[in-house]
C-alpha cells in the first residue's frame, strides 16, 4: 500500500534584500510540520521558493547596474544559504524564473483565456509599485496606497482581466461548508465579511508597462502580472500541465498553505477562484499566521543585529531560535520579538528545565553507577504518575500539531519536563544513594528519568533539528530506541552502554551583559523591505500589540542604576494612626533595613512575616509619618479591580541576592 502524502507550502519570498527573523517565521513553522509528518511516516512534499518577477525588482536591479536575473540570482543564493543554516528541510525550492514554472504559467493563462475566464480590457487607475497593486480612486486612502500608505501613480493601460466576480458565490459556499479551509477562524470571518460578501471585482492579471515577467504566450507585449505567476507556483512545482505531472497527481491538493496574515486574501480568494476556473480541487487549508513585530514597531532589516537571523543563530544556536519562534507566540496571533524575551526563554526553558534535567540525570548515572545502569531496578512511589504523564504526551503533542498549535504543543512537552524535574525532587536520588539496600530503587529512579528524557527528545525533533541527537549521544540512546512511535511506549531504553557527560546543551546567558552588547543595534532608517507591507489595519494593530505602549523607553544603563534585591520580611507592624501603612523589618544579605509601605489594606502584618520580596535597595531614604523608610518593596497593582499583590521570587534564594 502506498504511503499517505502530506503537501505543505510556504509563500514564495520576494528576493529583494536580506531576510530578517520575522521572515523565517512561516518557514520554520512549515519545517516543523514537514519534519513531524515525515516522522509519522508520511510521504511529505515541503515546498518553498522565491517570487522573482515584477516592476520593483526590475527597477532595483537597474539601479544596481544589473540585469534582473543577475540581481535575483545573487539574493536567492543568500536565501538558500539562510534556509540551509536554519536546517529547513524543503523537498523543492521553486523559483518563478524557472523555465518549467514559466511554461506552466503560460499554459494556465491560456487555459483560463480559452475558457473565457480571462478577457482583454483596459485598466485605468492608480498603481502602487512597492505593492504591485492597482487601486481605484475610491480605494485610495488620503490619495495613498491603502495597503502600505505610500504614494501611487496614475496608470491607464490595456490589460487582461480574470473573472474573479464569477466565482464569488462558489467561494462563499466553499468557505461556509468547509470550516477548516481558512484558519484561524477570525481570518475566515474577515474574508467572508470584508471581501466576499460585499462583492468581488474582476482582477487585472497582465501588464504592458514593464517586461520582467512571464510573457502571455498569445500576446507577447503583455507579461503575466503578480498573482497568476506567483500563486501558480504551488502547482507548477509539481509539474502541472507538463509532460511529467506525476508529483502533481500524487500531492495535489495541498494539505496546507502556510502564509502570513497580509497575504491570506490572495490565498483564500484569488487562488481558490483560479483553481475553480481550472477545475482543480482546492487546498484543504490555508493557515494565516500573525506577525512578529519588535517592541515599539514593525520588524525591519534596518534594525540590524537584533533581527538578523544569522547573527542570532551564531550567538544562541539554531535550536534556541527555532524554539523561541515556535514557543513564544500562539500560532495565528501577533507577537513581539525581543532579545530579552529570547534570552529569558533560553535561560528558563532550555538551560534550566531541559538542559539541567539531562545533565543532572547523566551526572547521577555516572556518579552512582559508573555510567552504566544495571537494568530497570525496583518500582516505587511516584513512578506511576510520572509514567502516566509521559505516556500521554505523544498523543497530546500530535493533536496540537495537527492543528498547527506549535506553542501549545511545546507547552505540553515542557509540562512533562517539569513533571520529570519534580520527580527528582520527590525521589531524592542522592539520599537513596547513601543506603546500599536502596540501590535497586535508585537504579529505577534514574532509569525512569532517562526514559522520560528519551520520550521528550523524540517529540522535540520537529521543532529542534540538533538537540535530540545531542541528548541521545549523552544518554547512549540507540537509533532503534528513537522511532516516533516509541515515544508512546514505556521501557524502550536499554541501558547497555555507558552514558557520557557531553557539553552543556544550552548554556545559560548573562542577560544583563548580553542586552548591553545587543543595544548597539543599528537604528531604524524607516526603509521598507519585502514582507513588511501590510495594510494599515495590520500596522496599527501591531503597534497596539507593543508591550511598551506610550511609555518612554529607557536604556539598559538606566535600568542598571536600580539596585533590586531579594529581601526577607523579619517582622511587620501597623503604623500608628494610618489605615494604609505598614512598617517592615527586612533581611537583605547581612544587613537589616526598615521600609514603610502602603499595603496595609491588602496584607496583614502577620501574613507578611517570612515572605520573600523584592526591594529597591538604593532608593534615597525618606521619612514617612516621621519613620525612616530605606527603600521600596515592589508590588503589582490592578487599579481597575482594586487589586494589589506583592512581587516575590519563584523558588528558594538567599536574602540579598541581586535581581536583574
Ligand atoms: N511574494 C509574496 C508571497 C507570494 S505567495 C504566492 C510575499 N513574500 S514576502 O517575502 O514578503 O513574505 C514571505 C513570508 O514572510 C510571508 O508569509 C510573510 O507573512 C512572512 N513575513 C514577513 N515578515 C514577517 C514578520 N515580521 N512576521 C511574521 N511573518 C512575516 O509576501
CA-258 nearest atom, ligand 1: 17
Comparing 304-308, 516-520, 521-525, the range with the smallest average pLDDT is 521-525
Please compute, for residue 501, the number of CA atoms within 13 A of its CA located in the half-sphere on the CB side. 13
Tell me the mean pLDDT in the region 80-88.
97
How many angstroms separate the alpha carbon of residue 252 from the centre of ligand 1?
A: 23
**Is the pLDDT score of 540 beyond 60?**
no
How many angstroms separate the alpha carbon of residue 23 from the centre of ligand 1?
A: 6
Confidence of residue 294 (pLDDT cuts 50, 70, 90): confident
134-144 confidence digits (pLDDT tens):
788 888 888 99
**Is the pLDDT score of 528 beyond 70?**
no
Comparing 178-192, 245-259, 618-632, the range with the smallest average pLDDT is 618-632
**Is the pLDDT score of 532 beyond 60?**
no
How many angstroms separate the alpha carbon of residue 292 from the centre of ligand 1?
A: 11
**Is the pLDDT score of 209 beyond 90?**
no
How many angstroms separate the alpha carbon of residue 476 from the centre of ligand 1?
A: 41
Confidence of residue 226 (pLDDT cuts 50, 70, 90): confident
How many angstroms separate the alpha carbon of residue 289 from the centre of ligand 1?
A: 10
How many angstroms separate the alpha carbon of residue 343 from the centre of ligand 1?
A: 25
Q: Residue of the nearest CA to atom 18 in ligand 1?
A: 260
Tell me the mean pLDDT in the region 307-319.
93
Please compute, for residue 233, the number of CA atoms within 13 A of its CA located in the half-sphere on the CB side. 29
Q: Residue of the nearest CA to atom 21 in ligand 1?
A: 23
**Is the pLDDT score of 300 beyond 90?**
no
Tell me the mean pLDDT in the region 573-591.
86
Which residues contact residue 96 at a Cβ distance below 8 angstroms, ignoring those fewer than 6 apart? 12, 49, 50, 51, 52, 53, 102, 105, 214, 229, 230, 233
- The predicted model scores a pTM of 0.78
Q: Residue of the nearest CA to atom 9 in ligand 1?
A: 531
Tell me the mean pLDDT in the region 183-209.
93
- In angstroms, the CA 21 to CA 252 distance is 30
Q: What is the pLDDT of residue 425?
A: 97
**Is the pLDDT score of 66 beyond 60?**
yes
472-521 confidence digits (pLDDT tens):
999 999 999 999 999 999 999 999 999 999 999 999 999 888 887 766 54
Please compute, for residue 96, the number of CA atoms within 13 A of its CA located in the half-sphere on the CB side. 30
| Ligand 1 binding residues, C-beta < 6 A | 11-14, 22-23, 25-26, 51, 230-231, 233, 259-260, 262-263, 291-292, 299, 530-531
How many angstroms separate the alpha carbon of residue 89 from the centre of ligand 1?
A: 19
**Is the pLDDT score of 545 beyond 60?**
no
Tell me the mean pLDDT in the region 593-620.
88
**Is the pLDDT score of 323 beyond 90?**
yes
CA-231 nearest atom, ligand 1: 6
Q: What is the pLDDT of residue 6?
A: 98
- In angstroms, the CA 159 to CA 275 distance is 21
Which of 23, 235, 265, 541, when mutated, tests ligand 1's pocket best, judged by the most ligand atoms within 8 Å of its CB? 23
Cell of 148: 502600505
373-393 confidence digits (pLDDT tens):
988 889 999 999 999 999 999
Alpha helices in 193-299 (DSSP H): 227-231, 233-236, 246-251, 264-265, 271-277
Comparing 106-120, 128-142, 149-163, the range with the smallest average pLDDT is 128-142
**Is the pLDDT score of 547 beyond 80?**
no
How many angstroms separate the alpha carbon of residue 260 from the centre of ligand 1?
A: 6
DSSP string, 72-97: HHHHHHHHHHHHHHTT---SEEEETT
Confidence of residue 342 (pLDDT cuts 50, 70, 90): very high
Q: Residue of the nearest CA to atom 10 in ligand 1?
A: 13
Which of 214, 531, 538, when mutated, tests ligand 1's pocket best, judged by the most ligand atoms within 8 Å of its CB? 531
What 8-state DSSP symbol labels residue 155? Answer: E
Contact 85, 310 (CB under 8 A): yes
Please compute, for residue 499, the number of CA atoms within 13 A of its CA located in the half-sphere on the CB side. 32
Please, what is the average pLDDT of the chain? Answer: 89
Helix (H) or strand (E) run with residue 635 in it: strand 635-638
Choice between 526 and 434, residue whose per-residue pLDDT is larger: 434
**Is the pLDDT score of 322 beyond 80?**
yes
How many angstroms separate the alpha carbon of residue 298 from the centre of ligand 1?
A: 13
Amino acid at each position: 500500500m502506498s504511503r499517505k502524502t502530506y503537501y505543505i507550502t510556504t509563500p514564495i519570498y520576494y528576493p529583494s534584500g536580506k531576510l530578517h527573523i520575522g521572515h523565517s517565521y512561516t518557514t520554520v513553522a512549515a519545517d516543523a510540520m514537514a519534519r513531524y509528518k515525515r516522522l509519522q511516516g508520511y510521504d511529505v512534499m515541503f515546498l518553498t521558493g522565491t517570487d522573482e518577477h515584477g516592476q520593483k525588482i526590475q527597477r532595483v536591479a537597474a539601479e544596481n547596474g544589473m540585469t534582473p536575473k543577475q540581481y535575483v540570482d545573487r539574493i536567492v543564493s543568500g536565501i538558500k544559504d539562510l534556509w540551509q543554516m536554519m536546517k529547513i528541510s524543503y523537498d523543492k525550492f521553486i523559483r518563478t524564473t524557472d523555465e518549467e514554472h514559466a511554461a506552466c504559467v503560460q499554459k494556465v493563462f491560456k487555459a483560463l483565456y480559452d475558457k473565457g475566464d480571462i478577457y482583454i480590457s483596459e485598466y485605468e487607475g492608480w498603481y502602487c509599485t512597492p505593492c504591485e497593486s492597482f487601486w481605484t480612486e475610491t480605494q485610495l486612502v488620503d490619495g495613498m496606497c491603502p495597503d502600505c500608505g505610500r504614494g501611487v501613480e496614475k496608470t491607464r493601460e490595456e490589460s487582461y482581466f480574470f473573472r474573479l466576480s464569477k466565482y464569488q458565490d462558489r467561494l462563499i459556499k466553499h468557505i461556509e461548508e468547509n470550516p477548516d479551509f481558512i484558519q484561524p477562524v477570525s481570518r475566515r470571518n474577515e474574508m467572508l465579511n470584508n471581501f466576499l460578501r460585499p462583492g468581488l471585482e474582476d482582477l487585472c492579471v497582465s501588464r504592458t508597462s514593464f517586461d520582467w515577467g512571464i510573457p502571455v504566450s498569445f500576446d507577447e507585449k503583455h507579461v503575466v502580472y503578480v498573482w497568476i505567476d506567483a500563486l501558480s507556483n504551488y502547482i507548477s512545482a509539481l509539474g502541472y500541465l507538463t509532460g511529467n505531472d506525476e508529483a502533481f497527481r500524487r500531492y495535489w491538493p495541498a494539505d496546507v498553505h502556510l502564509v502570513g496574515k497580509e497575504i491570506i486574501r490572495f490565498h483564500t480568494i484569488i487562488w481558490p477562484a483560479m483553481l475553480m476556473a481550472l477545475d482543480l480541487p482546492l487546498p484543504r487549508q490555508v493557515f494565516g499566521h500573525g506577525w512578529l513585530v519588535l517592541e515599539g514597531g514593525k520588524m525591519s532589516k534596518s534594525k540590524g543585529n537584533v533581527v538578523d537571523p544569522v547573527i542570532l543563530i551564531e550567538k544562541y544556536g539554531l535550536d534556541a531560535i527555532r524554539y523561541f519562534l515556535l514557543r513564544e507566540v500562539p500560532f495565528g496571533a501577533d507577537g513581539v520579538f525581543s532579545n530579552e524575551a529570547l534570552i529569558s526563554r533560553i535561560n528558563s526553558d532550555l538551560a534550566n528545565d531541559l538542559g539541567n534535567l539531562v545533565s543532572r540525570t547523566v551526572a547521577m548515572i555516572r556518579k552512582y553507577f559508573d555510567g552504566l545502569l544495571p537494568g530497570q531496578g525496583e518500582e516505587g512511589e511516584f513512578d506511576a504518575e510520572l509514567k502516566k504523564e509521559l505516556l500521554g504526551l505523544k498523543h497530546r503533542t500530535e493533536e496540537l500539531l495537527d492543528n498547527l498549535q506549535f506553542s501549545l504543543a511545546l507547552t505540553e512537552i515542557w509540562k512533562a519536563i517539569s513533571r520529570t524535574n519534580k520527580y527528582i525532587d520527590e525521589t531524592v536520588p542522592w539520599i537513596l544513594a547513601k543506603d546500599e539496600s536502596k540501590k535497586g530503587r535508585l537504579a529505577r529512579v534514574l532509569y525512569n528519568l532517562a526514559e522520560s528524557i528519551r520520550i521528550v527528545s523524540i517529540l522535540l525533533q520537529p521543532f529542534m533539528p540538533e538537540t535530540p541527537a545531542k541528548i541521545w549521544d549523552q544518554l547512549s540512546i540507540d537509533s532503534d530506541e528513537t522511532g516516533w512511535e516509541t515515544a508512546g511506549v514505556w521501557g524502550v531504553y536499554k541501558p547497555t552502554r555507558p552514558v557520557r557527560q557531553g557539553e552543556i546543551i544550552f548554556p545559560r546567558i548573562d542577560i544583563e551583559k548580553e542586552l548591553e552588547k545587543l543595544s548597539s543595534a543599528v537604528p531604524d532608517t524607516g526603509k521598507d523591505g519585502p514582507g513588511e507591507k501590510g495594510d494599515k489595519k495590520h500596522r496599527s494593530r501591531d503597534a497596539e500589540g507593543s508591550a511598551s505602549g506610550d511609555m518612554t523607553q529607557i536604556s539598559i544603563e538606566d535600568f542598571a542604576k536600580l539596585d533590586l534585591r531579594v529581601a526577607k520580611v523579619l517582622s511587620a507592624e501597623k503604623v500608628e494612626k494610618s489605615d494604609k501603612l505598614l512598617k517592615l523589618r527586612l533581611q537583605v544579605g547581612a544587613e537589616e533595613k526598615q521600609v514603610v509601605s502602603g499595603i496595609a489594606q491588602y496584607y496583614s502584618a502577620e501574613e507578611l512575616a517570612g515572605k520573600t520580596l523584592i526591594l529597591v535597595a538604593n532608593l534615597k531614604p525618606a521619612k514617612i509619618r516621621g519613620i525612616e523608610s530605606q527603600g521600596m518593596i515592589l508590588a503589582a497593582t490592578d487599579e481597575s479591580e482594586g487589586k494589589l499583590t506583592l512581587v516575590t521570587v519563584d523558588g528558594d534564594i538567599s536574602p540579598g541576592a541581586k535581581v536583574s
